Amino acid sequence: MIKIKLSDLLGKHKMNQKTLSRLTNIRPATISKMYYEETKRIDICQINALCKALDCEISELFEYVPDNQNSK
Residue percentage of the chain with pLDDT more than 70: 94
Residue 67's pLDDT is what? 86
**Is the per-residue pLDDT at 71 higher than 70?**
no
**Single-letter code of the amino acid located at 42:** I
Write down the H helix ranges in 2-72: 6-12, 17-24, 28-35, 44-54, 58-61
Question: How much is the average pLDDT of 21-41?
Answer: 97
| Res 70 pLDDT > 90 | no
Assign domain 2-69 to a CATH class.
mainly alpha
